[in-house]
Structure 1
Amino acid sequence: MDIMNCIPGTTLRLYSVSFRNVPVSIKTVISYIKVKTLTPKICSDDIELLILIPSTTWNFKQRDAIRRTWGNAKSSDAKTKVVFFTGQCINDTLQEVLEEEMALFRDVVQENIIESYQSLAEKSIALLRWASSNCPKVTYALKTDDDMFINIQNLVNVLRERKPTKAILGFKPPNPSPVRHKGSKYYVSRKQYSKDRYPPYISGTAYVMTGDIISALYNSTRYVPLLFIEDVYITGMCREQIGAEAICLPGFASSKSNGKINGKNFEKRIAGHHFSPQDIIQMWDELMRE
């Protein structure tokens, strides 16, 4: 099958990243591994922050950049664990490369979900299911996109100071209302959602869930009617169903700082959005530089 089926306008070699440059002995072993699900190990009981990252199947460079920077275990003094969640792609070549990545890092969960904007809510349900089953004693869980830059130490410091419980925290959009314009990708019909306003919700680019609600939040998805707008569904409708609080947390933002790429902008911030893998690596180097 042609890789073009999955990545329009490009080829697989453009997505070759550092995990492929491993010793031949390891690659030889991997070539004999034919397991479709090389899922991460369950969490140890002392994980303070579980980091859950929905990621498109072919976003190898994004995942590689996160592992090398803010997703690295040494990025903070907290005990953390990073897990990526991908969907399916009808392409044997791409699947083979993904399985190499899964075997090397053991931090990718592949779900039986088609990669699309419309399926983002399904992917978030899947990560909640995985977290509730494999990390039941985690203190906090951060769900974040793979084009985000996160200062994990700043986030951990705030959580330790505030000690929130039964809550979801992050950027809280004002005046949440459904988009009724049919030309928008955010269009929601009256049949899909009949009310004129959404419940208060936290932006899906990055939000923190306290560990005491993860199982209840997942269970609520079994009976709260699905809405494809992921953040509204998970952090608004399902959160409201279980009686958890939506808290605006300073330091979260959905855009770059004045359109500029500079890691020093994150000395006091927690999160920013729309960064390329190259941006993330550059910003991390700048942030770590004395």
Structure 2
Amino acid sequence: KEAKNHGDLLMINLKEHHKSLTDKTLLGMYWASQICRSQFYYKGDDDVWVNKWRLFDLIIKLNVRIESNIDLSSCWIGFVSSINHVPIRNKKSKYYVSYEDFNGERFPRFCSGFGYFMSRETASKVITSVPYVKKIPGIDDVYI
């Protein structure tokens, strides 16, 4: 009923599995940046608490900067790992990454997937790069 009345629910036909995380993240980012056309995009894990008042305050401050003609087209806010993490190669792990999916010995530094915030333009740039970057199933934060 919510989706029908308000058109604000994204329903996708994907198997509910950890390996689907990358595709779910990309579809949400596509929807927010291309269909919904929101000024900003927030992605957060469902088990992470967000201080909505601080987030609203941040959005207001960013909007003031936009109104002042400050370029936020590359805005991406989140926690970037300070080390290059090693992929988990244990097949029994939920976070297992095969050499076929990622053949490097260490991941590049990445913005942690527990939560990040970006401008619509940044989300669009990420979506535009998808055909050129091999997906890593289930490790969406590293891929993004």
With normalisation by structure 1, the TM-score equals 0.42
Identify the residue that residue 170 of structure 1 maps to in structure 2: 78
Separation in structure 2 between the aligned mates of residue 111 and residue 211 of structure 1, nearest angstrom: 21
* C-alpha separation in 1, matches of 2:105 and 2:38: 37
Matched, 1:182 2:82: no
User: 1:221 aligns to what SS in structure 2?
Assistant: helix
CA displacement at 1:104 relative to structure 2: 5.1
- Number of the residue aligned with 2:47: 147
The gaps in structure 1 that reach 5 residues or longer are 1-99, 235-290
Matched, 1:213 2:122: yes
Residue deviations 1:223-277 (CA, integer Å, cap 9, x gap)? 211111111111xxxxxxxxxxxxxxxxxxxxxxxxxxxxxxxxxxxxxxxxxxx
Structure 2 counterpart of 1:225: 134
Q: Write out per-residue CA displacement over residues 143-187 of structure 1, whole angstroms, 9 at most, x where no aligned residue.
A: 1123332112212434527x6551422222332221122221111
Query: Do structure 1's residue 128 and structure 2's residue 29 form an aligned pair?
Result: yes
Partners in 2 of 1:177 and 1:158 — Cα distance? 33
State the partner residue of 1:27.
none
Q: 1:106 to 1:137 in 2, by over 3 A?
A: closer
Q: Is the 8 A contact 2:29 2:41 kept in 1?
A: no
**Aligned residues: percent identity?**
32
Select the structure of larger CA radius of gyration.
Answer: 1
Residues 200-235 of structure 1: CA distance to partner in whole angstroms, max 9, x if unpaired? Answer: 11121211112221211111112211111111111x
1:196 maps to which residue? Answer: 105
In 2, the alpha carbon distance for the partners of 1:102 and 1:137 equals 17
> Which residues of 2 match residues 22-101 of structure 1 at below 5 A?
100-101=1-2
State how many pairs are aligned: 133
Give the structure-2-normalised TM-score.
0.78
Structure 2 CA distance for aligned equivalents of residues 121 and 137 of structure 1:
21
Amino acid at match of 2:13: N
What residue is the counterpart of 2:68 in the other structure? none
Q: What is the SS of the residue equivalent to 2:97?
A: coil
Task: Indicate if the aligned counterparts of 2:87 and 2:96 stay in contact, CA closer than 8 A.
Answer: yes
CA contact (8 A) 2:79 2:116 kept: yes
| Post-superposition CA distance 1:91-132 (Å, at most 9, x none) | xxxxxxxxx343355421111211111101011111122122
Q: 57, 62, 70: which is aligned to 1:157?
A: 57
Separation (CA, whole Å) in 1 of partners of 2:18 and 2:95 = 10
Structure 2 residue identity aligned to 1:221: V
SS of the residue aligned with 1:149?
coil
Distance 1:135 1:106 in 2: 10
Specify every segment of 5 or more residues in structure 2 that has no aligned partner in the other structure, as ranges: 66-71
Q: Once the 2 structures are TM-superposed, how far is the Cα of residue 191 of structure 1 from its aligned partner? A: 1.7
Q: Distance in 1 between matches of 2:82 and 2:47?
A: 23
Matches for 1:257-272 after TM superposition, within 5 Å: none
**Which amino acid is the alignment partner of residue 186 of structure 1?**
Y
Corresponding position: 1:116 with 2:17: yes
Helix, strand or coil: the match of 1:220?
helix
Once residues 134 and 106 of structure 1 are traced to their aligned partners in structure 2, the CA distance between those partners, rounded to angstroms, is: 11
